[in-house]
Amino acid sequence: MRGLMMNTPLLISAIAEHAARYHGGREIVSVTADNPRHRYTVAEAMARARQLANALVKLGLSKGDRVATIAWNDYRHLEIYYGVSGSGYVCHTINPRLFAEQLVFIINHAQDRWIFVDPMFLPLIEKIADKITGVEGFVVLTDEAHMPDTSLQNVRCYETLVGAESSDFAWPELDENSAAALCYTSGTTGDPKGVLYSHRSTLLHAYAGVAPDVMNLSSRDNVLPVVPLFHVNAWGIPYSALMVGAKLVLPGPKMGDGETLYALMDSEDVTLALGVPTVWLALLQYMAKAGKRLDKLKSTIIGGAAVPRSMIEEFRDKHDVEVRQGWGMTEMSPLGTVNTAKAGLESMSGDEQLDLATKAGRGIFGVEMRIVDADGVEQPWDGVAYGALQVRGLWICSDYFRLEGGAGTHTPDGWFETGDVATIDPHGYLAITDRTKDVIKSGGEWISSIELENVATDHSAVAEAAVIGVAHPKWTERPLLVVVKAEGQEVSKDDLLAWFDGKVASWCVPDDVAFVEELPHTATGKVKKIELRKQFADYRLPD
């Protein structure tokens, strides 16, 4: 027997309608290249999203067509999120930090029809214009007064395009499984792969995101996503924040600058901020230097890479800010786990709490996890046994966009291979120990490069560290620690190696240290280990 409940589709436009009705007066504050502090309300934002929807119809788009963005976090980008997806097209967010050949690949592969682009990224597009001839036109995200000169053809001004339209627009009633947004993984190997989010997966993810043990987001919050709108939908914040009526503070091009971030957080009373560890490193460094403290920030969600213990400690002890570590990936929309305390663990000491906080967190309802060994045998959740991490659930990709033959990333029984290696403890806390490709295979045992990197970055003289496996005649591979020294700091090889004593098992201590000026990074800021391994291909470990 079927239940007798309404089968209302889960649509992004429903968030737009709800936000305008219930939280219409809530502010959205942006830093943009043409305005250091733009403010307006949710009602205005959603009205302009409907104006944009009218303009998109006139551009002759059909349902499912891809409309790309190359833009920072600001109000115009947010309007595109709603205007494009809400009217049945696919909002394809592109990372401007990608290399030219990757941009060409992604734009052509996605078959983007129009590109909405920040003025400062026009030169990127101009350079590849002759290779993306499928694109019909470009909309520059500014007003007429700030329109730059460009060699591109068929270029429109965003404010003129939107300003010419009425805000009367009835959002179409779409199938909830239809595509809403597209984001390519910036993978370190092979061509980027497109993850195609549906309205349903986006809504469920946004719903889960606001829960107390996830982002704990409410209408009383002021949220600053320092995670870019061009990477995994800024962890769902554009949807979750509007769903509950939290004030949105969007940092525009000023994402990596500690001083600007601090000023923005302070003046806009930000209560929750989200970002990758590198961003918070810049902020903490600025605050330490300038003697500043974050008085209003309650918590920060940090993910995308392992969060150093020292960072969690500094936020907690100097700023009284709770760090919630999160783990996820583009293929997971991205939320998989978030680290919050669990009932029964209250009696832990401060040090034990810190140890726990360095883990990636507990699984969120909607995502199932399992760890398996090389033969596919499930491993126990004892916090010791490690295995390849597989997931399945409500907002996990079932395939990649237009990838004939698949990517071989799904198991025959329907789980997605994350490519991460992890342990899960009896309380359900996941700890990422490595990427399957980066783990160091030493004498039949696996050494976690992430664990060694965490220990290294806790040393005050280390700005950044990466550990790679290098060939060893007896053990197959042994760890080499590659270090960028902190500005003005000195440390010797022997001192650094001694730093590991008692912190990791003795057989895991790196065999050697190499000092470098900088590490190679991917477009999303992760260390490019493939590149690093190439760099050290001829490296010989000391006897």
Q: Which helix (H) or strand (E) holds 338?
A: strand 335-338
Residue 269: left if φ>0, alpha if ψ -120 to 50, beta else—which one? left
User: In this chain, which of 65, 420, 451, 453 binds ligand AMP, going by CB under 6 A?
Assistant: 420
Position 370 contacts ligand AMP (CB under 6 A): no
Count CA atoms within 13 Å of residue 159 on its CB side.
10
Size of the site for ligand AMP (CB under 6 A): 19
Task: Give the pair of three-digit tokens for residue 281.
Answer: 């490193």
List 297's β-bridge partners, or say none.
Answer: none
Asked if 98 and 188 count as a contact pair (C-beta separation under 8 A), the reply is: no
Alpha carbon separation from 194 to 110, 124, 378, 402, 412 (Å, rounded) = 8, 21, 29, 8, 21
**Which of 318, 437, 441, 534 is labelled catalytic?**
441
CB of 106 to ligand AMP, least distance (A): 14
Nearer to ligand AMP, 46 or 519 (CB): 519
Position 252 contacts ligand AMP (CB under 6 A): no
Based on the residue annotation, tell me whether 446 is a catalytic residue of this protein: yes
Nearer to ligand AMP, 162 or 465 (CB): 465
- Which regions of 11-124 does DSSP assign to beta strands (E)? 27-32, 35-41, 66-70, 90-93, 114-117
Contact residues for 482 (Cβ-Cβ < 8 A; gap 6+): 465, 466, 467, 468, 513, 514, 515, 516, 519, 532, 536
CB of 437 to ligand AMP, least distance (A): 10
**Which of 185, 300, 337, 358 is labelled catalytic?**
185
**Which of 160, 446, 485, 493 is labelled catalytic?**
446
Residue with tokens 């991205």: 334
Nearer to ligand AMP, 121 or 327 (CB): 327
List 32's β-bridge partners, or say none.
Answer: 35
Nearer to ligand AMP, 268 or 420 (CB): 420
Nearer to ligand AMP, 140 or 232 (CB): 232
CB of 339 to ligand AMP, least distance (A): 8
**Which of 314, 331, 453, 477 is labelled catalytic?**
331
CB of 232 to ligand AMP, least distance (A): 6
Our CA angle for 150, 152, 154, nearest 5°, is 115
Whole-number Å distance between alpha carbons of 255 and 239:
20
Nearer to ligand AMP, 165 or 464 (CB): 464
For the purposes of burial, counting CB atoms within 10 Å of the CB of 458, is it exposed (0-12), middle (13-18) or buried (19 or more)? middle
Position 418 contacts ligand AMP (CB under 6 A): yes
User: In this chain, which of 306, 371, 397, 527 binds ligand AMP, going by CB under 6 A?
Assistant: 306
CB of 354 to ligand AMP, least distance (A): 15
CB count in 10 Å sphere of residue 233: 28
Position 80 contacts ligand AMP (CB under 6 A): no
User: In this chain, which of 185, 260, 423, 448 binds ligand AMP, going by CB under 6 A?
Assistant: 185
Nearer to ligand AMP, 54 or 390 (CB): 390
End-to-end CA distance of the chain: 72
Whole-number Å distance between alpha carbons of 226 and 220:
19
CB of 7 to ligand AMP, least distance (A): 32
Position 360 contacts ligand AMP (CB under 6 A): yes
Q: Which stretch binds ligand AMP (CB under 6 A): 99-107, 210-218, 314-322, 418-426?
A: 418-426
Nearer to ligand AMP, 246 or 360 (CB): 360
Enumerate residues 443-482 that contact ligand AMP by CB under 6 A. none
Cis peptide before 380 (omega within 30 of 0): no
Total number of residues shown for the chain: 543
CB of 402 to ligand AMP, least distance (A): 19
Enumerate residues 308-347 that contact ligand AMP by CB under 6 A. 325, 327, 329-330, 334
Enumerate residues 499-528 that contact ligand AMP by CB under 6 A. 524
Alpha carbon separation from 116 to 79, 228, 245, 388 (Å, rounded) = 11, 16, 26, 39
CA R_g for the chain:
23
Task: Give the pair of three-digit tokens for residue 498.
Answer: 């001694």
Nearer to ligand AMP, 169 or 239 (CB): 239
Position 435 contacts ligand AMP (CB under 6 A): yes
Nearer to ligand AMP, 20 or 388 (CB): 388
Whole-number Å distance between alpha carbons of 515 and 497:
13
CB of 334 to ligand AMP, least distance (A): 5
Whole-number Å distance between alpha carbons of 150 and 119:
10
Position 238 contacts ligand AMP (CB under 6 A): no
User: In this chain, which of 12, 232, 369, 455 binds ligand AMP, going by CB under 6 A?
Assistant: 232
Based on the residue annotation, tell me whether 185 is a catalytic residue of this protein: yes
CB of 299 to ligand AMP, least distance (A): 15
CB of 539 to ligand AMP, least distance (A): 24
Whole-number Å distance between alpha carbons of 464 and 456:
8
* Residue numbers at the binding site for ligand AMP (CB under 6 A): 185-186, 232, 303-306, 325, 327, 329-330, 334, 360, 418-420, 432, 435, 524
**Which residues carry out catalysis?**
185, 331, 441, 446
